Structure 1
């Protein structure tokens, strides 16, 4: 997997240090107050579904942040798409901090590393990411190319969100750690709204 972009690394560190709260509603990225967690193990209520979800959703979010950074670097992108991309970047970077906070507290580094190279549901292939990057790079001073890059970003992000929402269903239904289930539901709510927003931007 690619090294995290500098802005994502900074956001994750900041989010982890700040407790990763948004208006007091998001679950806190704090080590659970159980003796098991203090010893570097998952709390008793966390099950395999929770651990797998952390390991797979984290790289999924990282790719969404990277996609957003690509389109935000393109001059001439519409204000509406730029605003959406910035919200995706900020929101998912914060959630990465929360998930990594739990994984670190629970001693799940090996599991996270093992799944970091896997292609989770809805993630872009290398060819798709390369295509988005090439469109963005070729868009300088070309309104038609900018429009194509923007359209491609929106279409790919819609599919990416669909994959994320599908991934959350197992966690919501079968996870054991309530805070992570709540975070998964938050992901569904936010990304469902963003998909509707994308449909509007694409004129669907």
Structure 2
């Protein structure tokens, strides 16, 4: 039968481990003093979000019969988000937050597409691939913008807040362009 002391020690140890896991803090963390939990959460969630946008773009770019206008926006999305991934992964590595990134890598949230819908997109060609890509990417971008606004409002690291504002500006323009393509 456990004693009160061993139960208390177990409870304190569990609480400490949970706190470290949720905060993503590891011994020797190198985050700058201005970075906060919002910054870390944003990096952990936005990196896989961007990776999926790159995958979606690759799918539609490989499809037959997709219009040049849709190919062009898919290329811009892929290129822009790949560059932002490199920047974010640089901070993740510099701040030693790889465990936090791995923890969030499997989440499907904030407009992300389910594996089933990704497979369905990959099976399409022509107008169906184009329309599905545009519809899914609009929702994907809208989810990203909502998540990104929290970073701008609550993030502590100025460079990351600036990147977040750039993301909102670019993705807002891309949503307007994709809605125009869907309407034509």
TM-score of the aligned structures, taking structure 1 as reference length: 0.75
What are structure 2's unaligned runs of at least 5 residues? Answer: 1-27
Provide, for residues 10-29 of structure 1, a one-character-per-residue CA deviation record: whole Å limited to 9, x for no partner.
xxxxxxxxxxxxxxxxxxxx
Residue 163 (structure 1) aligns with = 143
1:4-153 aligned within 5 A: 40-135=29-124, 139=125, 146-153=126-133
Cα distance, 1:49 vs structure 2: 0.2
The 3-state SS of whatever aligns with 1:124 is coil
Aligned residues: CA RMSD = 1.0
Larger radius of gyration: 2
Q: Does 1:195 align with 2:175?
A: yes
**Which structure carries more helix by proportion?**
2
Question: Residues of 2 paired with 1:76 and 1:126: CA distance?
Answer: 23
Cα distance, 1:131 vs structure 2: 1.0
Q: Does 1:185 align with 2:174?
A: no
What are structure 1's unaligned runs of at least 5 residues? Answer: 1-38, 140-145
TM-score of the aligned structures, taking structure 2 as reference length: 0.83
